[in-house]
Amino acid sequence: MRTLIVDDEHFVRKGLMFTLPWESFQFKIVGEADNGQSALAFMRAHEVDVLITDLTMPIMNGFELMKQVREEFPYVWIVVLTCHQDFAYAQEALQLGAIDYLVKTQIEGQHSYETLQRISRRITHEGSLRHSSSAEPFQGVNATECERWDFLLIPVPPEPMAIVEVWGELQHEDMTRVGEVGWFIRNHRYRSRSELLDALLEQERYKRYLIIVISGESTSWTRGFERYVEHLVFYEFHPDQPVLFEYAQSGQASEGSSDSAIAEELRSQWLTFRWIYGDHVFHEWMRTVQRVRPAKSALMTIMGDTLFAWEFIEGVREMLEPWRVTGGPRCLRDLVSMLQSIRGILRSRPVTEEVAICICKAVRHMSESLHEPLGLEEVAQRVGLSRGYFSQCIRQVTGKSYHDMIIEMRIAHASRLLAETNALIYQVAEQSGFRDEKYFSKVFKHYTGRLPTEFRNVCNIQSRNSQGRKSQDEGGISAGMNETLNS
């Protein structure tokens, strides 16, 4: 894609031109300009597909340039370049037709890769809409017989029925709950996708919702589609980027790569823990994830055991708390942010890189082997440290003694077994590393405030109440979806 960069600052233009990986995403820089007037002169003499422009420039600013380009070159993609991080400032540019915006201070390292990748995908996506559209604008469901389109409104993260309070223009009778995914909206008032995008911009709804436009008559709704939606939300949702996604009924919904060899490669790289200290290693691992796009469930499986174990490291638990509440990060950007925070915590510990990695591996081994005795000396030998030095370092890295760490892990593991299985109390004790049932009960009550049997009873009551509410919801959902999708 032939790209023109417009900015009145010489060094900004040169920095953009020579430091970003343009060719990796099919961009080719064909020119530069220092104001809107010279940019128009260049575009009238050369073919340009993508215009990247600053907003504040002398002679002709970015807003004036965009208006002129919309008239003379309606099929040129426009990306706004600004120093202002507040989206409210860039909103006017988006309403004038810009497809995205870049914050100058964030275009470096991993940010540059993510930014160009996002813009490239946006152009590909909207380009497909351009090619598939007719000369007439898209109309709402009741406006024409040539095309019917409804849409799926997805709260990120999921939320209760309060959605009508946020989207006041929607009516209850036009909304049908779709499992845990979101809301299916039909008979809406939006005459075009542009109107729907404007509605998404209102009150910054795009920060909490993702929209998938569904064309044609819907005839089935499968778990496969729900996995497709989860995959789309995870890899495409950006809380600062309003966008509509298109789902073709005849198309095949991608749910992510399930290649076992790739998953194993990602897992092996992850378990070296070199990504904690090595920025290049971390960014390369994330690039592989972005390129391959494994299913979210597969990615969580790769990281899950490690992150569960690291919950017991002081400072890391707080980073993982939102994950436990919502069932995982909303999107890849949230995951990257969380991992960066964890990296910062671990790198701040007063030990060397090698020692920190040894302790991280030891903590993971402890979490995986809770059914075993796991003496301090045994674990220390496993990671190649002396007993005394390991005892000192594990406290420096985790903030806890080895004894406190292993007991907390055993109690957490026992809690899950009591809540999720029907194993007898003595079996739970053994599987959690306690060889004496009475001692287990005593320690469990000390940490949880309840005996194991009491804890299980409370969990069973909560589970029955939750299942009852879910059954009622699913009954209404099933009837509503059958009526809606087959009408």
Looking up tokens 């992510």, which residue turns up? 256
Tell me what pLDDT residue 125 has.
61
pLDDT at 352: 95
Nearest to 27 by CA among 54, 55, 53, 5: 5
Residue with the larger pLDDT of the pair 124 and 384 = 384
Strands of 182-185's sheet, edge to edge?
Answer: 175-178, 182-185, 149-155, 209-215, 244-247
Of 96, 90, 54, 102, the closest CA to residue 76 belongs to: 96
pLDDT at 257: 55
Cβ contacts of 105-109, under 8 Å, gap ≥ 24: 107/16, 107/20, 108/19, 109/279, 109/283
Res 4: pLDDT: 92
Pick the closest to residue 16 from 120, 123, 106 (CA basis): 106
**Region 457-482 average pLDDT:** 60
What is the number of H-type helices and E-type strands within the chain? 20, 10
Task: Report the distance separating Cα 483 and Cα 487, nearest Å.
Answer: 6
Stretch 421-433: mean pLDDT:
95
Report, as an integer, the average pLDDT of 427-433: 96
2-132 and 260-457 have identical folds? no
Confidence of residue 148 (pLDDT cuts 50, 70, 90): low
Residue 207 is predicted with a pLDDT of 83
Residue 12 has pLDDT above 90, yes or no: no
Average of per-residue pLDDT across 52-56 = 84
Q: What is the mean pLDDT of residues 240-254?
A: 63
As a whole number of Å, the end-to-end CA separation of the chain is: 43
Q: Which residue has the higher pLDDT, 80 or 324?
A: 80
Q: How confident is the model at residue 446 (pLDDT cuts 50, 70, 90)?
A: very high
H or E segment and range at residue 247? strand 244-247
Question: Given a cut of 90, is residue 49 above it in pLDDT?
Answer: no
Other Cβ atoms closer than 10 A to 392: 14
Identify the weakest region by mean pLDDT among 16-25, 35-44, 387-396. 16-25
Pick the range with the lowest mean pLDDT from 42-51, 84-93, 276-285, 451-460: 84-93
Q: pLDDT digit string (tens) for 219-235?
A: 455 666 777 888 888 88
Q: Provide the H-helix boundaries in 79-222.
A: 87-95, 109-132, 163-166, 193-201
Phi-psi region of 134 (alpha: psi -120 to 50; beta: other; left: phi over 0): beta
**pLDDT band per the 50, 70, 90 thresholds, residue 216:** low
Give dist(CA 298, CA 142) in Å, integer.
Answer: 41
Mean pLDDT of 408-423: 95
Q: In this structure, which amino acid lies at residue 103?
A: V
Of residues 447 and 135, more confidence is placed in: 447
**pLDDT exceeding 90 applies to what percent of the chain?**
31
CB 129 within 8 A of CB 246: yes
Predicted confidence at residue 96, as pLDDT, reads: 64
Higher pLDDT, 320 or 486: 320
CA atoms within 13 A on the CB side of 6: 32
* 3-class DSSP state of 178: strand
pLDDT (0 to 100) of residue 380: 96
Q: What is the DSSP letter of 256?
A: -
Q: Identify the CATH homologous superfamily for domain 2-132.
A: Response regulator (3.40.50.2300)
Q: What is the pLDDT of residues 313-361, one digit of tens each?
A: 999 988 887 676 666 787 888 888 889 999 999 999 999 999 999 999 9
More confident position, 274 or 170: 274
Q: What is the rounded distance in angstroms from the CA atom of residue 329 to the CA atom of residue 296? A: 10
Q: Is the pLDDT of residue 429 over 90?
A: yes
Q: Listing from the earlier edge strand, what are the strands of the sheet with 50-54?
A: 28-33, 2-6, 50-54, 77-82, 100-103
160 or 106: which carries more pLDDT confidence? 106
Q: Which residues contact 233 (CB under 8 A, 6 or more apart)?
A: 154, 156, 210, 330, 331
Whole-angstrom distance, CA of residue 216 vs CA of residue 238: 27
Instruction: Please state, in angstroms and rounded to a whole number, the distance separating the CA atoms of residues 403 and 377.
Output: 12
What does the pLDDT read at residue 126?
60
**What is the Cα–Cα distance from 451 to 473, expressed in whole angstroms?**
33
Q: Is residue 400 within 8 Å of residue 378, measured between CB atoms?
A: no
Q: Residue 450's pLDDT is what?
A: 95
Handedness of CA 396, 399, 404, 410 (dihedral sign): negative
CA distance 98 to 80: 7
Question: How many residues in the chain?
Answer: 487
Kindly state the tokens that stand for 55: 């907003």
CATH code at 260-457: 1.10.10.60
| Total Cβ atoms within 10 A of residue 32 | 19
Sign of CA dihedral 80, 85, 87, 91: negative
Q: Give the distance, in angstroms, between the CA of residue 21 and the centroid of all CA atoms in the same chain.
A: 23
pLDDT-above-70 percentage for the chain = 77
Return the pLDDT at 269: 93
- Interstrand relation of 244-247 and 77-82 (parallel, antiparallel or unpaired): unpaired
Rounded to an integer, the average pLDDT of 449-473 is 78
pLDDT at residue 392 above 50? yes
Q: How far apart are CA 355 and CA 389, in angstroms?
A: 10
Tell me the residue type at 400: K
Q: 363, 398 in Cβ contact below 8 A?
A: yes
pLDDT of residue 21: 79
Q: Where are the domains of the chain?
A: 2-132, 149-247, 260-457
Whether 20 contacts 116, CB under 8 Å: yes
pLDDT reported for residue 304: 86
Q: Report whether pLDDT(402) > 50.
A: yes
DSSP sequence for 53-77: EESS-SSS-HHHHHHHHHHH-TT-E
Taking only the tens place, the pLDDT of each residue in 177-205 is 776 678 888 778 888 888 888 888 888 88
d(CA 269, CA 287): 13
434: closest CA among 374, 476, 354?
374
Using a 10 angstrom Cβ sphere, with 0-12 exposed, 13-18 middle and 19 or more buried, the burial of residue 135 is exposed
Q: Does the model's pTM come out above 0.85? A: no
> Which pLDDT value is given to residue 162?
62
Query: Residue 35: how many CB atoms within 10 A of its CB?
Result: 20
DSSP string, 182-226: EEEE-S-S--SHHHHHHHHHGGGGGGTEEEEEEES------HHHH
Q: Which two tokens stand for residue 341?
A: 């925070």
